[in-house]
C-alpha cells in the first residue's frame, strides 16, 4: 500500500519536472537561457513540484485501489 503511493509520488515529481519548463513564456526562452542558464527555467518549481506530486500520489493510489477492487 505504501509502495503504491511511493511510486505514484515519484510519477508526480517526474511529471512536474518534465512539464514545468514548457509552461514558461516562449518569447523569453532565449533571454532566460542566456542570462540564467538552463536552471532559470526551473525557478520557483519546488512548491508546485511537491504539491502536484502529493496530489498525483493520492489520486493514483485511490485509483489503483479502486481498480483492483472493482475489476
For residues 61 and 10, is the Cβ–Cβ distance under 8 A?
no
Instruction: Report if pTM > 0.75.
Output: no
Q: What is the pLDDT of residues 21-58, one digit of tens each?
A: 766 566 777 788 889 888 887 888 888 888 888 888 88
C-alpha cell at 50: 511537491
For residues 42 and 25, is the Cβ–Cβ distance under 8 A? no
The reported pLDDT for the residue numbered 25 is 63
In total, the chain counts a number of residues equal to 71
Per-residue pLDDT of 3-25, as tens digits, reads 667 777 888 888 778 777 766 56
* C-beta contacts of 20-23 below 8 A and 24+ residues apart: 20/45, 20/48, 20/49
Amino acid at each position: 500500500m505504501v509502495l503504491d503511493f511511493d511510486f505514484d509520488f515519484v510519477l508526480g515529481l517526474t511529471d512536474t519536472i518534465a512539464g514545468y519548463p514548457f509552461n514558461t513564456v516562449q518569447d523569453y526562452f532565449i533571454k532566460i537561457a542566456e542570462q540564467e542558464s538552463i536552471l532559470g527555467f526551473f525557478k520557483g518549481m519546488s512548491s508546485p513540484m511537491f504539491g502536484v506530486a502529493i496530489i498525483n500520489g493520492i489520486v493514483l493510489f485511490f485509483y489503483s485501489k479502486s481498480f483492483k477492487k472493482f475489476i
